[in-house]
């Protein structure tokens, strides 16, 4: 019976292996928060390395917001661009700016922040060979075309528009007049960088060092990051808690489930499917505030079927066939607001938001909608396909609902269908390579709270995010005119005139303004979201 003993041995080996791993993995503590004023919060794995000029999505942005402070900072409540590290930014001609950096600021490793900390960082961000995905933010600075040419090799390694005057002063020359340029400096890409970023880049990436209210204590890529309060932080917005533990979740449903089970203190993205029970789960520990995000349906103007006079009527008709109120009520449980212009309520009336600007073209009207679509020659190709990426977000739910709404109006259950694309990357490459011939989900999250940011980058001829390639001279002229306007109120009303052109042309259909939603545990108080729908971490208090 030699074999039998072998079997027994094999079973023991398995048991031993199991016990060994049990010893290896059993003793480390679990998540949860509360101890020493630490807040645990949901996170997603940042897509790019955590360099300031290379981070273009909200998950990496969260971290940068905690560990960096730039020249300006947007007030978490009003969105106003306030001086942070900038003592003053002066200009006489709206093209040449002189920046003076405040005294007394250091990085968390003790290094003094000087004019060079900014100039070096901006040069790094702009230069082509560093592959910084937000390089275009430096595009207004003179000499950008030399360090970051559209094609070919860069002919310079430094922006000629940046000049250090002394330890605390530097000058910026723009390639064109841009009166509101200082207000864009709150964007994380403009953050200062310490010397070690350049001298020991790999080590910096492993554990980034900045000048914000938090320092990174431990960073396990792909799974968690522990940030701790920086006690010597020189700013006024000191952290009110001991630190933040960010924990990566692949599925925001799991994060929400963890919050309700008491394993997590803060979830900053409550999934649509949980909205119905969020009140009963969390009571008033749920916040829902407007954020600078608008969702739209975009159309391909490179496809001649969509670029006709009739197609304008069709798009207007489609816009009127979407029952926005019902969808935001049922699918999003009122966490989104039906859109009636192309900006966002966070701008405020003064900033250029105008409720109802779109008028009847953005109001549900089944009979009129059907007539308009038929008058315009019907949907090109007979069927509207709405493409979206099926991997993240709750896109499937609302696209299906939009289609059902259109189908009901048209009395044809195949008039509109959702067309999911497997991955976000593939979706984006189909959009940018102009492979789509129906509508697709589009949206805009503001970079800075200006009406210009909601219109120019998205709808101006050949603008960087004008994926549908819509072009309209009247619109472009009005935007140019608004940019040259030095009086803010006039500039805003000119931008709104440009929006009125869009009502007549309906290049994209505005759907709804997105709110930021978050839920938090009983351990924490004073939780709020800023206008970029990122939690204001440093203000959170732990009970």
Partner 1 sequence: MGRYVIRRLLQMIPVFFGTTLLIFLMVNVMGDPIAGLCGDRQCDPATAAQLRTEFGLDKPVWQQYLTYMGNVFTGDFGTAFNGQEVTELMGTAFPITIRLTLVAIVFEIVIGISLGVVTGLRRGRPVDTAVLILTLIVISIPTFVTGLLLQLLLGVEWGVIKPSVSPEAPLNELLIPGLVVASVSLAYVTRLTRTSIAENSRADYVRTATAKGLPRRRVVIRHLLRNSLIPVVTFIGTDVGALMGGAIVTERIFNIHGVGYQLYQGILRQNSQTVVGFVTVLVLVFLAANLIVDLLYAVLDPRIRYA
Partner 2 sequence: MPEQTPDEAISAAGAGGPTDLALAEGDSLEKTPGGPEGTGPDTKPQSLWSDAWRDLRRNPVFIISALIILFLVVISIWPQLIASGDPLDCDLGNAQQGSQPGHPFGYDGQGCDVYTRVVYGARNSVTVGICSTVGVAVIGSVLGALAGFFGGWWDAILSRLTDIFFGIPVVLGGLVFLSVVTSSTVWPVIGFIVLLGWPQIARIARGSVITAKHNDYVQAARALGASNGRMMLRHIAPNAVAPVIVVATIALGTYISLEATLSFLGVGLKPPAVSWGIDISAASQYIRNAPHMLLWPAGALAVTVLAFIMLGDAVRDALDPKLR
Question: Closest separation between CB of residue 262 and partner 2, Å?
Answer: 17
In 3D space, the residue among 348, 342, 331, 347 whose CA is nearest the CA of residue 296 turns out to be 342
Positions 417 through 456 that interact with partner 2 (CB under 8 A): 417-423, 426
Q: Which does 247 bind (CB under 5 to 8 A by kind): partner 1, partner 2, none?
A: partner 1
Positions 373 through 412 that interact with partner 1 (CB under 8 A): 391-392
Report residue 478 as tokens.
């009005």
Single out the residue of 234, 310, 377, 443 in contact with partner 1 (rule: CB under 8 A). 443
Single out the residue of 428, 461, 504, 525 in contact with partner 1 (rule: CB under 8 A). 428
Q: Does 250 bind partner 1 (CB under 8 A)?
A: yes
Q: Does 331 bind partner 2 (CB under 8 A)?
A: yes
Question: Closest separation between CB of residue 40 and partner 2, Å?
Answer: 23
Single out the residue of 32, 378, 390, 457 in contact with partner 2 (rule: CB under 8 A). 390
Q: Does 519 bind partner 2 (CB under 8 A)?
A: no
Single out the residue of 77, 88, 207, 221 in contact with partner 1 (rule: CB under 8 A). 221
- Residue 443's H or E segment, with its range, is strand 439-445
Question: Closest separation between CB of residue 298 and partner 2, Å?
Answer: 18
Single out the residue of 414, 428, 490, 541 in contact with partner 2 (rule: CB under 8 A). 414
In 3D space, the residue among 207, 202, 195, 214 whose CA is nearest the CA of residue 117 turns out to be 195
Residue 463-502 contact track with partner 1, rule CB under 8 A, x = bound:
-xx-x-----------------------------------
Q: How many residues sit close enough to partner 2 to count as binding (CB under 8 A)?
A: 33
* CB-based contacts of 309, cutoff 8 Å, min separation 6: none
Q: Which does 94 bind (CB under 5 to 8 A by kind): partner 2, partner 1, none?
A: none
The 3-state secondary structure of 388-428, one letter per residue:
EECCCCCHHHHHHHHHHHHHHHHCCCCCEEEEEECCHHHHH
Positions 239 through 298 that interact with partner 2 (CB under 8 A): 253, 271-274, 276-277
Rounded Cα gap, residues 123 and 116, in angstroms: 10
Binding segment for partner 1 (CB under 8 A), chosen from 20-28, 82-90, 160-168, 509-517, is 20-28
Q: In Å, how far are 350, 360, 492 from 481, measured between CA atoms? A: 18, 27, 11
User: What b/e string do you get for 86-109 counting C-beta neighbours within 10 Å, with b at 16 or more?
Assistant: beebebeebbebebbbbeebebbe
Q: Which does 276 bind (CB under 5 to 8 A by kind): partner 1, partner 2, none?
A: partner 2
Question: Closest separation between CB of residue 389 and partner 2, Å?
Answer: 9
For residues 392 and 326, the answer to whether their CB atoms sit within 8 Å is no
Positions 35 through 54 that interact with partner 1 (CB under 8 A): 45-49
User: What phi, psi does 537 have (nearest 5°)?
Assistant: -60, -40
Rounded Cα gap, residues 127 and 157, in angstroms: 6
Closer to partner 2 at the Cβ: 162 or 399? 399
Rounded Cα gap, residues 458 and 460, in angstroms: 6
Closer to partner 1 at the Cβ: 76 or 125? 125
Q: Does 11 bind partner 1 (CB under 8 A)?
A: yes
Question: Closest separation between CB of residue 21 and partner 1, Å?
Answer: 5
Q: Which does 330 bind (CB under 5 to 8 A by kind): partner 1, partner 2, none?
A: partner 2
Rounded Cα gap, residues 260 and 267, in angstroms: 10
Q: Does 327 bind partner 2 (CB under 8 A)?
A: yes
Single out the residue of 6, 334, 355, 396 in contact with partner 2 (rule: CB under 8 A). 396
Q: In Å, how far are 299, 326, 350, 400 from 438, measured between CA atoms? A: 6, 24, 36, 15
For residues 488 and 348, the answer to whether their CB atoms sit within 8 Å is no
Rounded Cα gap, residues 198 and 185, in angstroms: 22
Residues that bind partner 2 (CB under 8 A): 253, 271-274, 276-277, 323, 326-327, 330-331, 390-391, 396-397, 400-401, 403-405, 407-408, 413-414, 417-423, 426
């Amino acid at each position: 019976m030699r074999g039998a003993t072998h079997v027994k041995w094999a079973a023991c080996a398995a048991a031993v292996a199991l016990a060994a791993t049990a010893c290896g993995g059993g003793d480390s503590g679990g998540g949860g928060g509360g101890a020493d004023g630490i807040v645990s919060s949901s996170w997603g794995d940042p897509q790019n390395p955590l360099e300031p000029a290379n981070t273009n999505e909200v998950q990496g942005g969260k971290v940068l917001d905690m560990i960096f402070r730039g020249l300006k900072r947007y007030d978490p409540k009003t969105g106003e661009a306030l001086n942070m590290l900038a003592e003053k930014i002066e200009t006489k001609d709206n093209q040449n700016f002189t920046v003076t950096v405040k005294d007394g600021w250091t990085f968390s490793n003790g290094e003094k922040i000087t004019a060079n900390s900014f100039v070096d960082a901006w040069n790094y961000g702009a230069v082509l060979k560093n592959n910084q995905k937000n390089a275009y933010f430096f595009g207004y600075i003179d000499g950008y075309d030399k360090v970051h040419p559209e094609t070919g090799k860069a002919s310079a390694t430094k922006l000629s528009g940046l000049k250090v005057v002394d330890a605390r002063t530097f000058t910026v020359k723009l390639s064109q007049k841009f009166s509101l340029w200082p207000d864009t400096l709150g964007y994380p890409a403009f953050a200062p960088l310490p010397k070690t970023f350049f001298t020991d880049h790999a080590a910096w990436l492993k554990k980034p060092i900045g000048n914000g209210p938090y320092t990174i204590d431990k960073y396990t890529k792909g799974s968690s990051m522990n940030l701790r309060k920086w006690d010597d932080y020189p700013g006024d917005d000191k952290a009110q808690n001991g630190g933040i533990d960010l924990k990566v979740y692949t599925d925001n449903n799991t994060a929400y489930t963890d919050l309700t089970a008491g394993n997590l203190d803060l979830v900053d993205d409550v999934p649509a499917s949980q909205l119905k029970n969020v009140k009963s789960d969390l009571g008033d520990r749920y916040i829902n505030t407007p954020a600078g995000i608008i969702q739209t349906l975009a159309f391909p103007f490179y496809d001649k079927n969509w670029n006709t006079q009739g197609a304008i009527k069709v798009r207007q008709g489609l816009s009127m066939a979407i029952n926005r109120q019902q969808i935001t009520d049922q699918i999003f449980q009122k966490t989104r607001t039906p859109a009636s212009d192309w900006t966002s309520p966070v701008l405020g009336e003064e900033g250029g938001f105008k409720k109802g600007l779109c008028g009847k073209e953005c109001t549900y009207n089944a009979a009129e909608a059907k007539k308009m679509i038929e008058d315009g020659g019907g949907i090109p190709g007979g069927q509207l396909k709405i493409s979206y990426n099926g991997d993240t977000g709750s896109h499937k739910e609302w696209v299906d609902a939009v289609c059902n709404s259109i189908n009901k109006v048209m009395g044809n259950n195949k008039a509109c269908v959702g067309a999911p694309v497997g991955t976000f990357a593939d979706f984006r490459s189909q959009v940018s390579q102009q492979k789509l011939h129906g509508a697709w989900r589009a949206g805009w999250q503001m970079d800075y709270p200006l009406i210009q940011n909601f219109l120019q980058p998205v709808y101006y001829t050949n603008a960087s995010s004008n994926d549908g390639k819509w072009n309209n001279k009247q619109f472009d002229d009005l935007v140019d005119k608004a940019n040259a306007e030095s009086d803010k109120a006039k500039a805003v009303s000119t931008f709104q005139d440009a929006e009125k052109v869009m009502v007549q042309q309906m290049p994209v259909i505005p759907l709804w303004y997105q709110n930021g939603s978050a839920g938090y545990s009983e351990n924490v108080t004073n939780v709020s979201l800023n206008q970029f729908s990122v939690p204001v971490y440093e203000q959170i208090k732990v009970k």
